[in-house]
């Protein structure tokens, strides 16, 4: 059951009558599974569907969504295109240039980015007393933009510097300027003072494909460093497994996925998301707020 009104945050004035995830590919998305479990518990008249959408079909599909008051989520490759099309964007959507959550008000498209909330929740779980030291972000794409925005709360809570380690340093420089955060770029792992690093976040797709290498050798990491892999796999990613084998705190992207979904749910309906139902649908125990999924 839903646990009451959400205390704060962005809430749609007109809740959607139907929900969908738009992407290509979208067949692998876990969102319909856990969102439908949440809807069953709290809004049984609303269904969450998945829809494979080619880039040149996006406008037609959005027009259909508008006519049906169908809101939802957006996954790759459409997060940027939907952000451009939204006539109303939240600050996180504007700063990241990406929309993963949308709805309609008086026929106007509203866009928000709740990936940032999922990242904040995971960083808090991994570092409940705040990040002690610098943070290294691997990658400079769309997810890295959300990570950089999310890390601002960690910085305010006392984290050290943010360093973006990317194979294309120019792209990292452009990303930092676009998102307007205080961060620096490293082109090589050897350029980083690893003993000062308290958290490393993988925002590359490395680890998604079976047989992939790890995004960064765990040999670089000190004993106090925590590891957050945005990639998720039911059996855990190889990078997370290697970090845990070294005794480090490490978590994959599943909590981020559920928390971005919970935040989207709260945006659409203005009530607390039934997280226990969401985790149950995934066959996973709900992690206690400030502990780490093992
Ligand atoms: P993206 O926009 O394509 O960016 C990927 C970044 O990774 C780029 O900077 C790219 O570098 C870099 N990269 C790609 N392959 C690499 C390699 N082999 N070695 C080093 N760097 C590499 O993708 P994205 O949207 O940011 O998503 C990244 C990953 O985040 C996804 O694959 C997904 O697993 C994860 N994600 C998880 C969640 C969640 O809820 N848990 C949500 C969103 C994303 P170049 O620019 O040089 O190509």
Angstrom distance (rounded) from CA 182 to CA 119 = 18
Looking at residue 13, its pLDDT comes to: 93
Residues constituting the chain: 294
CA–CA distance, 283 with 277 (Å, rounded to integer): 10
One-character DSSP codes across 72-122: EEE-TTSHHHHHHH-SEE-HHHHHHT--SEEEEETTEEEEE--HHHHHHHH
241: preceding bond cis by omega (within 30 degrees): no
In this structure, the number of other CB atoms found within 10 A of the CB of residue 45 comes to: 7
Q: How many angstroms separate the CA atoms of 209 and 233, rounded?
A: 10
Q: Which atom of ligand 1 is least distant from the CA of 213?
A: 18
What's residue 12's pLDDT? 94
Mean pLDDT of the chain: 93
Structure confidence at residue 54 (pLDDT): 98
- Residue 233 designated active-site: no
Mutate to test the pocket of ligand 1, among 80, 82, 136, 141 (most ligand atoms within 8 A of CB): 141
- pLDDT value at residue 156: 87
Per-residue confidence (pLDDT) for residue 291, from 0 to 100: 42
- Measured from CB, residues less than 6 Å from any atom of ligand 1 are 76, 115, 118, 139-144, 166-168, 171, 203-206, 208, 230-232, 253, 256-257, 260
Q: How far, in Å, is the centroid of ligand 1 from the Cα of 143?
A: 6
**Which residues, at least 6 apart from 143, have a Cβ–Cβ distance to it below 8 Å?**
115, 203, 230
Q: What is the mean pLDDT of each run of 10 residues along the chain (294 residues)?
A: 55 96 96 98 96 98 98 96 97 96 97 97 94 96 96 88 97 96 96 97 93 93 97 90 95 96 97 96 80 42
The span from the CA of 62 to the CA of 69, in Å, is: 10
The predicted model scores a pTM of 0.94
pLDDT (0 to 100) of residue 1: 37
Annotated catalytic residue: which of 78, 79, 238, 293?
79
pLDDT of residue 8: 59
């Amino acid at each position: 059951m839903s646990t009451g009104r959400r205390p704060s945050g962005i809430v749609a004035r007109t809740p959607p009558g139907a929900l969908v995830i738009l992407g290509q590919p979208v067949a692998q998305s876990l969102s319909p599974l856990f969102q439908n479990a949440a809807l069953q518990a709290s809004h049984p008249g609303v269904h969450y569907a998945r829809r494979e959408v080619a880039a040149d079909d996006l406008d037609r599909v959005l027009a259909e969504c508008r006519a049906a008051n169908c809101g939802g989520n957006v996954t790759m490759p459409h997060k940027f295109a939907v952000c451009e099309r939204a006539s109303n964007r939240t600050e996180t959507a504007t700063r990241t240039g990406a929309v993963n959550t949308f709805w309609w008000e008086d026929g106007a498209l509203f866009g928000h980015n709740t990936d940032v909330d999922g990242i904040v929740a995971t960083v808090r779980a991994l570092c409940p007393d705040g990040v002690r030291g610098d943070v290294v972000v691997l990658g400079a794409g769309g997810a890295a933009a959300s990570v950089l925005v999310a890390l601002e709360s960690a910085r305010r809570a006392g984290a050290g510097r943010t360093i973006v380690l990317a194979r294309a340093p120019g792209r990292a420089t452009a990303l930092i300027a676009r998102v307007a955060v205080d961060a620096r770029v490293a082109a090589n792992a050897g350029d980083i003072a690893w003993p000062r690093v308290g958290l490393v976040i993988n925002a590359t797709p490395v680890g998604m494909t079976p047989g992939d290498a790890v995004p960064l050798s765990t040999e670089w990491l000190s004993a106090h460093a925590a590891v957050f892999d945005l990639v998720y796999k039911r059996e855990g990613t190889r990078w997370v497994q290697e970090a845990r084998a070294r005794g480090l705190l490490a978590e994959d992207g599943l909590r981020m996925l559920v928390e971005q979904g919970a935040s989207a749910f709260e945006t659409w309906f203005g009530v607390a998301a039934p997280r226990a139902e969401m985790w149950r649908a995934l066959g996973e125990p709900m992690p206690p707020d400030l502990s780490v999924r093992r």
